[in-house]
Amino acid sequence: MTTLPSAPARIAPLRVCFVCTGNICRSPMAEQVFRTRVAEAGLEGLVETDSAGTDGWHEGDGADHRTVSVLEAGGYPSVHTARQFRAAWFASRDLVIALDAGHLRRLRRLAPTPQDAAKVRLLRSYDPALPTGADLDVPDPYYGGPEGFEECLAMCEAACDGLLDAVRQELAVRG
């Protein structure tokens, strides 16, 4: 009887969730930029991406119309439904990416364990072009004009390139 070699075990996808306040501006923008980077890198199926808000004010709503405009102008998809991040989600996420320091603190307090709290990182901490000591917050564009949304997109794009590199390294470790 011949024994066939077993197929390599399929690794579980690395799951990344982007979080801002209401899940209608910054986090859906970061989600779509990163999802596009993942697809361009041929990592679909190995990386899953979603987003949520720390608050549930906009649950069920689409992205802000200015977010949609900036995403579409940049060539990104804009389909989105807002939702609130839940503590139970930590168990199924590998990285929880906060868009500013307030989100970072709130998410770390929400985390059920120290290991879950360690999953929370600031998006701009992945921007390789930022100098040491730079402000890592992505400013909330909601109360401003279109230029704030364009600035937010540029920050997301720069940081998502670095995040993709970090995710590639993690996937290599997982083997």
User: Which candidate in 55, 94, 140, 161 is catalytic?
Assistant: 140
Tokens of 119: 């999953």
Contact 42, 119 (CB under 8 A): no
> Is 140 one of the annotated active-site residues of the chain?
yes
146 falls within a domain:
yes
Tokens of 160: 């998502």
User: Which candidate in 17, 26, 37, 100 is catalytic?
Assistant: 26
41 falls within a domain:
yes
- Let me know the angle formed at the C-alpha of 41 by 38 and 45, rounded to the nearest 5 degrees: 55
pLDDT of residue 3: 46
Domain count within the chain: 1
Q: Where in the sequence is the domain holding 36, given as residue range(s)?
A: 14-174
139 falls within a domain:
yes
Q: Output the domain CATH number for residue 94.
A: 3.40.50.2300
pLDDT in tens, 61-91: 999 999 999 999 999 999 999 999 999 999 9
82 falls within a domain:
yes
Residue tagged 């400013």 (tokens): 139
> Is 161 one of the annotated active-site residues of the chain?
no
> Is 25 one of the annotated active-site residues of the chain?
no
145 falls within a domain:
yes
168 falls within a domain:
yes
What is the overall mean pLDDT for the chain? 94
pLDDT of residue 174: 87
Residue 7 has pLDDT above 80, yes or no: no
pTM for the predicted model, two decimal places? 0.93
Instruction: Give the full edge-to-edge strand order of the sheet including 47-53.
Output: 47-53, 14-20, 95-98, 120-122
Give the whole-number percent of the chain exceeding pLDDT 90. Answer: 92
User: Which candidate in 20, 25, 152, 160 is catalytic?
Assistant: 20
pLDDT in tens, 125-169: 999 999 999 999 999 999 999 999 999 999 999 999 999 999 999
Residue 9 has pLDDT above 80, yes or no: no
138 falls within a domain:
yes
Give the whole-number percent of the chain exceeding pLDDT 70. Answer: 94
